[in-house]
Structure 1
Amino acid sequence: FLSRMSEILSLASNMSSPDRQNVGEIGENLAARFLLKNGYRLVLANFKVPVGRNRRGATVTGEIDLIALDENVLCFVEVKTRTSDEYASPLAAVDLRKQRQIIRAAKVYRKTFQINRTSFRYDAVSVVLRENRRPEIELFKNFWTEEKFRKKTWFERIW
C-alpha cells in the first residue's frame, strides 16, 4: 500500500484532466496516507453492503470509504475529492442522504463483526487536487452523528 503512495502522489501532481473515478481513487489513497500520518490505524477500505431498497424497489448500497481506528475510537470515514473548491467545498456532497447510507452501512459493519462496546464516530476528509499544486487535505472529526437520524417520539398527553 505505502509503496504505491509515491506513484499515486506523482500521478496526482501530473494529472491534467482526470476522470471522476481516478480523482476519487487518488483522493482516497491520499486520505488514507494522511490518516496514517496522523496516528490512525487503517482497518478497511471501500466497505460496501446493501442497506435497503429505494421507492422503486431497487437495492440501495451503502459504502464506507475508509474504516480506521483513532486510538480506541472506530472511525467511519467519508472521503470527498474534487479538482476545485471554487464553487463549493467537497464536503457539500456529504448530504443527509449520503450520511444516512453510511450510518446504515456502519450498523451492518458493527453487527457483522459484533462490535458493540467500542466507541465510534463519523469523520470526513476533504481532498482538493489542483493542477500543478500540492493536494489540500483536511480532516473533520465527528463530522456528523447518528442523533439527528433517530426517530423522535412525542409523549404529550392529549386532553
Structure 2
Amino acid sequence: MDGEKRSHIELGELGETMAVAYLRRQGAKVLYRNYRGPKGGELDIVVRDADTLCFVEVKTRKRRAGSRPLDAVNVAKQELIERGARAWLKLLPDNDFFWRFDVVEVVLEENERPQLCWVKDAF
C-alpha cells in the first residue's frame, strides 16, 4: 500500500488485480474477471488450474486482524458464488470436467509486502 486512503471498492479492485497476477505466477490460466450471472450470481475470477476449472473469490483486507479474509466467505456469499458458477457452467457446451471453489486472500498492511494465499477447494 502506498499510504493513500482507498475506498472499499478500490481496495477490492486492487486485491483482484494482485490476485490475477499471483494466480498467473502460480501457473493458472485466467479465463475471466468479474462475471455476473443473469440471476444475480457473481464470480471474481475464473481460472483453469491444470485440468480443473476454478471459481475464485478474492477477499482483500488492509490488515490481518483476528480472523482470516477467508472467514468473510460466509454461507450467503457462497450461495452467490455458486449461483454464478452454475450460470457460467450453463454457457459451456461440455461440463464433463473437474471444477471447484477457491479463495485468494490478499492482506495489504502498510509498510509491508502484500501477502497472498490461494486456498484451493475452500468450500
TM-score range, shorter chain: over 0.9
Segments of 4+ moved more than 2 angstroms: none
Partner of 1:139: 118
Q: Secondary structure at the match of 1:23?
A: helix
2:7 is the alignment partner of 1:19: yes
Q: Which runs of 5+ in 2 are unaligned?
A: none
Q: Secondary structure at the match of 1:29?
A: helix
Partner of 1:3: none
Partner of 1:46: 34
Partner of 2:59: 80
Give the drift of 1:48. 0.5
How far apart, in 1, do the equivalents of 2:85 and 2:91 lie? 10
Which of structures 1 and 2 has the larger relative contact order (alpha carbons within 8 angstroms, sep 6+)?
A: 2
Give the drift of 1:16. 2.7
Pick the structure with greater CA Rg. 1
2:69 is the alignment partner of 1:90: yes
Task: Quote the RMSD (CA, aligned, Å).
Answer: 1.1
Q: After superposition, give the CA deviation of every residue in 1:3-38 in whole Å (9 maximum; x if it has no partner).
A: xxxxxxxxxx31332111111001001111110000
Equivalent pairs: percent with the same residue? Answer: 36
How far apart, in 2, do the equivalents of 1:100 and 1:30 lie? 25
Letter in 2 for 1:36: R
CA contact (8 A) 2:60 2:106 kept: yes
Of the three residues 84, 88, 92, the one matched with 1:105 is 84
Q: Secondary structure at the match of 1:114?
A: coil
How far apart, in 2, do the equivalents of 1:79 and 1:143 lie? 12
